Each structure stands twice: as structure tokens, then as C-alpha cells.
Structure 1
């Protein structure tokens, strides 16, 4: 790439103050951004799908790592800055190294625009991060179109993804993530790293698709966990009462009807969901 102006200068020139309504918190530390870009592994020649690039800090790091980036941004204020970055990045063997899509990531068909085998890397806007994640995890087809997920979340959300049964963080998101991915927290990020500084710590999570623990329907598992954790302090015989066959399916896994959802292993949830026709 051509020499780029400092990110702070780009933000000032384009008036890109972070908007709370868009869940924006910008990262300026180039070393930290490069560290995020290294989490998926070597990206030379790989396609990366990025959500909410804002002024393009993480985008720069991904381009430095050798990736071809497809970025979706709904904030029209950021588009001129990203256009400048795309021009500086130039073309690779497969066309533009940076393609910017103006739009809402919740409405974009990511699989179509990014293609099979793309890595998803993003400092997700906090207001849509969990919704996007559950959408990527909840596809019926598996393995998914994406090769890995490297995502920035509030630390509390990250801890839910990797939590074990019996812990206070263990819940529906833990089951959905661990059923058919290997999830780990790569590292944590303090509030002072962001502008503006959020009130909580953040964490970068890395998820890689694995073989499912049981051949369950994603929709069925989602419904089962929603019912079980919807009233997490209640015993399963009460929380699953409205879902026909669910309690019997759990008991068939050796789980007591008096157990609470927060103590049930991921594999038991998956196997129970597979029994529900």
C-alpha cells in the first residue's frame, strides 16, 4: 500500500466521531490491530469479511497481513475514508484488495459476497454483535461457508462463549458455540484502548468449525436451549414443560428432570435436540 496518513488524522478530516447509536468504539493502536489480524493464522491471499470497519483501522491491519478484504459499513460518514483506503490498497491477483459494501450487515448475504472459505474478522458493533454471531452459528448447513471467526466482544459475552457447565457464565450462547466449533478467548483488551473508552473490558474470541457433537437441527437446538435457559433457575421439568418431548429427550441422555439448564453439558443438549423430530 501507499503511505497512509495516521488514523487519527483520517478520523478528524472526515468528522468520524464514534456514534453510540451505531455501537462504535474505534481502535488506534496499530500493534493491537496487527495482533487481532494474526489470530486467524496466515492471511496472505485469503479473503476476509469485515463488519463495521469504521475509519478502517482493523482493515489496514488485515491488508498488511496480505488479505483481500470485503468490508460492510452502514455509516455513510466512513465511506469516503474507506474509499481512500481501497484506492491505496490497489489490486491483487483476484481484483481489488479492498471492496467496501455500503449497507447493514444484518441484511447482507455474507456467504454470497465473501464466498466459501472466507475468514470473518471484525471489531463488531456491540449493538448487533451477538445477533450476527448466532446467525453465523445457526446455519443448518455444516461445515459453514466461513473458515473461522475472529471477533471482538464485550468480555462478558466472550466468557459466555467458552464457559463450562456449572459456571455462572454458562448459558445458551455457550451451547450454540461449543456444539460445533472450537472456541477460545485469544486475548482481552482494556477500555483505554478504545476511543471512546467503553465501560467494560473487551475480548477477542476465535472460533473454528468442528464436527458437531450430535447431528441435531440447528433450529431445534436453538429452540431447546431457549426454553431451557429462558428460566435458568427452574428445574428442567418446569422450563421444558411447554416443549413436547424435550424433557424425555433430556432424560434419555441421563439428565435428571430436577437438573437445571446451567448444569447440563453441551453434548447432552445436542443429543437431546437430535431426538426431537
Structure 2
């Protein structure tokens, strides 16, 4: 069975809006035309996708299944179109998504190493926000991404580039601020919460980035946990960074779309791995002395 993408896009719009009227306005088409398209899609599939009433439009069980698979399929189609357009551009740069100051301190060396790889070609950096990397990969807006775990792995392949210790970010007047090292129990942090601690703190405290979070740390409002390389980029007189004895390491990965066959991406991955190895921060965390 072959289904056209347009009625599927219409279906997704209705499902997301919960209303034919709002979906029609969003799509810029007439309501009757939208209703016909959905009825035709239901006829073609032989299932009912929506339960309709005068007030509510609800998905049926087949509708839920279709929505679950339709969204990533449409994203993949849009991504393929973007990549095709970008591939036609002369001297096309490979786009590497990176969050500012969250590159393990390796970005400049990786770019320099990639420049020596014949297959890599020119590499341009696409700066992005927290957890935005994988969306850019899935939508075709980036070819590769350098980021710390965790990340949404759907449709993504990745190699670990480097691992590094984490440190506690404490107010400078905190009782543990002058300690040689601390344990997670000293900080009241559970091991399973470490990986997403800084991101969770940012959301819960209503701040927008790490600089604002560290301002609150300096004021004594909170404490947090960061990869050591990130902490090194944010020295603050009011903040003390203390090694954590029993903290799981931070893993920096280079990721790419699962179905990518780009030789340029492969060359960039090789360059990133080589740089981390040359720095002695590959897959084993250096011991704290």
C-alpha cells in the first residue's frame, strides 16, 4: 500500500490541533477540503482514524498508531528534502551542531584535525541550545553533533569521543567549598540523577542557560554538577568547583543521523576520536590526583 504524504500531514495537523477548524486554519486550506482528505485517507486505509463529535475530535486506536509512526516519517521526508537541497550547493559545508562551551574543550582541535582529512571537506559550526542537537540531526539541519550524554537516541548513531570527571559547583562560602573532593551523599544527590542534574536545575529554577544557573549557585540558591571541561569555561569568584569522588563520568559523543552514508561525517568522527585520544581523554577517565 502506498499513501501520499499530503493527507498524512493533514491527519497529523488535525490530531495535534484536536479540531478540524483549527487544523484547516493552520494548513491554510478550507475546512470541507480537509474533511474530504481525511475521509479519503480513512477509506484508503480501511480504518477510522478519528471519533468525531460536535465538540471533540479524538483519535481512535488506529489513529494513535498512525500518529506515532507518521511524525518521524514526515520528519525524515522533510530532512531528506533539506539534505538534497544542501547537497546541490557548491562547496557545501558539513554542519556540526554544538552547544557553546559544551564541547569538552575539543572543538577547535577537532575542526583543525578535520581540515587534514581529505574526505571531510569544509566544516561549519551550528550553535544550538540544550538538547537541541538530535532534533537538528533528524530534521536535516545538521550533519553531525558534538554533545554530552544523555540524548534522545531515536534515529541517531553515535560514538563516544571522550569521557571526563564531573565536579560539584558550590557557593564559595559552602562548608565543602574548600574540600579536596566530595561524595554524592555529601551533596544530597542520587547517582541516577547526576547525568541530567544541570539541565533539570535550569528548568526547575526558571533560568535559561548555564551562566544564569551559576549565578544562582554563587548566591547560595542551589548547587549543581558539571563536566569538568564545562566548569573550566565558567570561572566564577562566587563559585567553587570541587571534584566528586564517586560520580559517574561525563561522556562526550559525536552523533549523526542513523542512515547517513556521508564520507565527510565519517572523516569528522575519525578526527574527533583522534583528537580525544591525543589528549588522553578517550574512553577511560583519568584518575584524580
Query: Could you tell me the TM-score, scaled by structure 2's length?
Result: 0.31
Higher RCO (CA 8 Å, separation ≥ 6 residues): 2
Asked which structure has the greater CA Rg, the reply is: 2
Q: Tell me the TM-score normalized by structure 1.
A: 0.32
